[in-house]
Amino acid sequence: MDQIFIAEDNAADVSLLRIALRESQVECELAVFNDGAAALAAIVEANLRPALFILDVDLPNVNGITILARIRTNTVFDRIPVIVWTTSDSLEDRLRSENSGADQHVCKPTDLSSFLRIGELVKETIAAARPLAGGAAQAV
């Protein structure tokens, strides 16, 4: 079963993400961290091989872009896609995500139907990463 690594400090967003994954029939184990320092420590110290990283940008202690930079400097993770998700849809933040190595920059949905589509995005991202070695960031 695939593992998805999630760094997100908003419990409601994690709950909605769980629902979206279930609705999209994404069978996975979630490793959830609500603090950037804990997420970074897990990446550095643990023997993780998730199918996907989902990183909130605005985390306590260590932000998601810093975590992304650490992921991208480790060759063990070079084929694992990273979705950066945030409340910001600014061009500056999208470029920062892309330049840091994100495969996709997703603006957090504000309604339930849009949130449920995240499950399909996750399913498609994992499936696309299996034969490929990553790629440029895509805006969603």
pTM of the predicted model as reported, rounded to 2 decimal places = 0.89
Q: What pLDDT, on the 0 to 100 scale, is given for residue 45?
A: 84
Q: What pLDDT, on the 0 to 100 scale, is given for residue 134?
A: 43
pLDDT < 50: residue spans in the chain: 132-140
CA distance 8 to 109: 14
Q: What pLDDT, on the 0 to 100 scale, is given for residue 48?
A: 81
| Backbone phi and psi for residue 50, each to the nearest 5 degrees, phi listed first | -70, 160
Measured in whole angstroms, the distance separating CA 28 from the mean position of its chain's CA atoms is: 14
Contact 92, 35 (CB under 8 A): no
Structural domains in the chain (count): 1
CA distance 59 to 25: 28
CATH number of the domain where residue 84 is located: 3.40.50.2300
Show the domain range for 111: 2-139
Kindly give the pairing relationship between strand 52-56 and strand 82-86: parallel
Q: What pLDDT, on the 0 to 100 scale, is given for residue 131?
A: 63
If 0-12 CB within 10 Å is exposed, 13-18 middle and 19+ buried, where does residue 62 land? middle
Give me the DSSP letters along 38-93. HHHHHHHHS----SEEEEESS-SSS-HHHHHHHHHT-GGGTTS-EEEEES---HHH
Q: What pLDDT, on the 0 to 100 scale, is given for residue 140?
A: 44
Tracing tokens 């650490």 back to the chain, one arrives at: 70
